[in-house]
């Protein structure tokens, strides 16, 4: 029985999301790309203008016998600020929105329940504004974005933005 499944998550810059989920046991693959927009095969430049409707996302393939969707979503709430609309830190625009693209109705219900739990946890000062939408498309980002952090650890954005998120994630998993 195949227990591999996918969920597509947007939590700001996909470099951060990818770097964290690649470090989670049970995650088989993480692909950076774009979802939720209205044009086919957008480029990174296209989506950065904010006119395509796409979000920067990661398509996460995982083995549900090793890690559950609930755990993946718990981490999702921890690695970004789901209370800011269309921004994560200095990254601003609709393409940086907080979004969960579910692949089936069971995922939709799990995502809604997870969001209710996170919203009522007292963890956030403001209400969660994360979009929960049906998955309709995924377009992989250019190859230069694959495993970006692992290939560019000395790049300033990686040192200042991605690395602190990885450190926080790894401390929380101990």
Query: What is the 3-class SS of 61-106, one letter each residue?
Result: EEECCCCCHHHHHHHHHHCCCCCCCCEECCEECHHHCEEEEECCHH
Q: What is the CA radius of gyration of the chain?
A: 15
The chain-wide mean pLDDT, for the chain, equals: 93
Query: What is the 3-class SS of 107-167, one letter each residue?
Result: HHHHHHHHHHHHHCCCCCCCCCCCEEEECCCCEECCHHHCCHHHHCCCCHHHHHHHHHHHH
- In the set 13, 16, 58, 158, the catalytic residue is 13
This prediction's pTM: 0.94
> Percentage of the chain with pLDDT > 70?
99
Strands 131-134 and 98-102: parallel
How many other CB atoms sit within 10 Å of the CB of residue 171? Answer: 8
pLDDT tops 90 at residue 50: no
- For residue range 123-169, what is the model confidence (pLDDT) as tens digits? 999 999 999 999 999 999 989 899 999 999 999 999 999 999 999 88
16 catalytic per annotation: no
* 18: nearest Cα among 33, 4, 32: 32
Spatial contact of 82 and 124, defined as CB atoms under 8 Å apart:
yes
């Amino acid at each position: 029985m195949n227990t591999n499944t996918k969920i597509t998550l947007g939590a700001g810059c996909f470099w951060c999301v990818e770097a964290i989920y690649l470090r989670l046991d049970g995650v088989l693959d993480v692909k950076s790309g774009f979802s939720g927009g209205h044009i086919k095969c957008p480029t990174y430049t296209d989506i950065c203008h904010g006119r395509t409707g796409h979000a920067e996302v990661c398509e996460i393939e995982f083995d549900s016998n090793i890690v559950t969707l609930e755990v993946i979503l718990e981490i999702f709430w921890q690695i970004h600020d789901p209370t800011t609309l269309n921004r994560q830190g200095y990254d601003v625009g609709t393409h940086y929105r907080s979004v969960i693209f579910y692949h089936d109705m069971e995922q939709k219900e799990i995502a809604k329940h997870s969001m209710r739990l996170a919203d009522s946890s007292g963890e956030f000062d403001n209400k969660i504004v994360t979009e929960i939408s049906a998955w309709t498309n995924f377009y992989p980002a250019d190859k230069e974005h694959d495993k970006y952090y692992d290939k560019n650890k000395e790049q300033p954005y990686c040192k200042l933005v991605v690395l602190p998120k990885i450190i926080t994630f790894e401390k929380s998993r101990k």
